[in-house]
Amino acid sequence: MSLQDAVQKLAKDAVKLAKSAKVVGLGSGSTVAHIVREMAKLPGKESIEFIPTSLQIKLEAEKSALRLVGEERIPDIDIVFDGADQIDSKFNMIKGGGGALLREKILISAAKRVVIVADATKFVQSFNRSVPIEVHPMARSAVHKKLSEIGGRPELRTLDKGYPFVTENGNIIFDTTFPSIPDPKKKEVELKSIAGVLEVGLFTRRADVYYKAKDDGTFDTIAF
């Protein structure tokens, strides 16, 4: 038994939550890809509309013959499935490791229910990793300066060969380390007030269900 077994089991369990949904939001990442493949097995999947946040998941959904719709259906999302990079003891999250934080936050903000799937290592007492911050390219220097002034250590995200990582929205990402984040909601508001910052990888809306995959092949469900 392994973590992979746990992810496959929880994906089977999680998709049951979408049975009565008409519009489903799909986050990004490998765990969501498992959920997409399970969605393909749902009876009556033809009556469900799906909105992906990334090209990776859009391609996975196309392979699974899911019915994809555009952003005009976002206000009607019944449930969204997504992953997380870290989840603290109060269930705040850091997301955006894959670069889709702006689209993910739009879907999560609109959804009636939110389901988060992550492996046990992502659950921490308090955040100890960088926060992805999506920034308009024109604001690169100004935002870098502002983030440094408020105690952050911003690093421009780059690809293997040194080219800047560009999001699907045409923006750049500063992975920014802070000494501590005692109040994630306050920090989210502070960062979003910087001109040129388009979205912040601090997600402070508590999900309705969290699935925690464990490396012994089992999973826990935390529901609110």
Tens of pLDDT, residue by residue over 123-181, are: 999 999 999 999 999 999 999 999 999 999 999 999 999 999 999 999 999 999 999 99
Are 96 and 182 contained in the same domain? no
Do residue 36 and residue 74 come from a single domain?
A: yes
Segment 39-67 mean pLDDT: 93
Burial per residue of 74-112, b for 16 or more beta-carbon CB atoms within 10 angstroms, e otherwise? beebbbbbbbbbbbbeebbbbbbbbbbbbbbbbbbebbe
For residues 112 and 36, membership in a common domain is answered with yes
31 has pLDDT over 80? yes
Q: In this predicted structure, what is the pLDDT of residue 43? A: 84
Residue at 223 is within a domain: no
Grade residue 185 by pLDDT with cuts at 50, 70 and 90. Answer: very high
Tell me how far apart the alpha carbons of residues 49 and 36 are, in angstroms, rounded to a whole number. 12
Q: Which of 38, 60, 104, 199 is catalytic?
A: 104
pLDDT band at 40 (very low <50, low <70, confident <90, very high): very high
- Cβ pair 108, 52 in contact under 8 A: no
* Per-residue pLDDT at 24: 97
Q: What is the CATH number of the domain that holds 178?
A: 3.30.70.260
Does 79 lie in the same domain as 16? yes
Look up the pTM and report it. 0.94
Q: For position 29, what pLDDT does the model report?
A: 85
Are 83 and 162 contained in the same domain? no
Say whether 104 is catalytic.
yes
Q: Are 110 and 75 in contact (CB under 8 A)?
A: yes
Same domain, 20 and 86: yes
Domain of residue 73: give its range. 3-124+204-216
Q: How confident is the model at residue 4 (pLDDT cuts 50, 70, 90)?
A: confident
Considering the domain architecture, whether residues 196 and 137 belong to the same structural domain is answered as yes
In a domain, 222, yes or no: no
Q: What is the pLDDT of residue 172?
A: 98
